[in-house]
Chains A and B, each alone.
Chain A
Amino acid sequence: MGLVRWFHSLASPPHFYRFARRLSPWLAVSSVVLIVAGVFGGLVLAPPDYLQGDGFRIIYVHVPSAYVGMLAYVVLAGAAAIGFVWRIKLAHAVAVSVAPVGASFTFLALVTGAIWGKPMWGTYWEWADARLVFELLLLFLFLGYMVLRAAIEDRDKADRVSAILAAVGVINVPIIHYSVEWWSTLHQGPTIARLDSPAITLDMLVPLLIVIVGFTVYFAWLVICRLQGEVLERERTARWVQQLLAERAE
């Protein structure tokens, strides 16, 4: 019960803001430690791939960024839908804060994938590969959400209209995930999320999992930083914001 109440209290902007201020340094430090440790493991400790040699080490930045891009979209769509249905102010603020971060990681997944594709497939890009095309669509969904919001001046209206786009677009996330099984072309199949055991050995897998966790924590930190700004602006006339400013001025 206590946990539920605590979770509910986070939806209150002043509670969230104070909580975020305490949490954010811990997220920042732990994400950097995890990413550095995981990348060290991936670049130095993991053995070269029997087929791709050392070229496979791009996986340690490509897969985590692709994962965070998709996670970001699920969070964006979920938050926007919650904001739309239950009219929770903080939920729309979450969606707004996630969008640019998700776009940047999706962009990173596309770029690192293209760089990896050149030596292994002989091409940076292939329009006939479903995984690549739907990943590009994910980037456009993030950008479309941001452009749509920017085009609507009234914030409440922007919240509601953009939430519809965000929610509809979530169908793209499972399509990306299963694309390599439904239409197998260039992109290789899943490495970790398989019904049987993962397709790589433990000394390759562990660093990858560490970077994935690190990127996820880093994503959380970025979103919380942006969300603090978003909440301040949305709540600018609230008394707690004025109190906060007074505290800071002292």
Chain B
Amino acid sequence: MSEFLDMGGYARYVWTAYGITLVVIVLNAWLARRRHAQALIKVKQMDRSELIERTPTVRRNP
């Protein structure tokens, strides 16, 4: 096991590269999910008046 961790003397290079990769992968997932979640919140909180103003559709309750 320690032989594996030592990576033939290249441990600091190999594990730093893999560590940064893990950080980038996890951060990407978090940011992408947050992007979607924030859009949902934003759309939900949208001013209803903007909706009525911008969509010339049939109004259910005249």
Contact = CB atoms under 8 A, between A and B. Distances in A.
Interface string A87-102: 0000000000100110
A232 B43 contact: yes
B18 A61 contact: yes
A48 B18 CA distance: 17
Contacts of B9: 53-54
Contacts of A245: 40, 43-44
Nearest to B24: A108
B43 A236 contact: yes
B58 to A, nearest CB: 10
| Range for the number of chain A residues in contact with chain B | 35 or more
A55 B10 contact: yes
Q: Which size bracket describes the interface of B in this complex?
A: 35 or more
Main secondary structure of the interface of B (DSSP, over half): helix
B39 A230 contact: yes
Interface string A237-250: 11101100100100
B39 to A, nearest CB: 3
Interface string B28-49: 1101110111111011101000
A58 interface: yes
A203 interface: no
A216 interface: no
Nearest to A20: B36
A118 interface: yes
Contacts of A116: 13, 17
A105 interface: yes
A115 interface: yes
B61 interface: no
A43 B7 CA distance: 9
B7 A54 contact: yes
Interface string A198-222: 0000000000000000000010011
Nearest to A223: B32
Given A58-B17, A229-B38, A53 B10 contact: yes
Nearest to B18: A61
A103 to B, nearest CB: 10
19 contacts: A39-B18, A54-B9, A55-B8, A55-B10, A58-B13, A58-B17, A101-B32, A104-B28, A105-B24, A119-B10, A218-B28, A221-B32, A222-B28, A223-B32, A232-B40, A233-B42, A236-B43, A241-B43, A245-B43
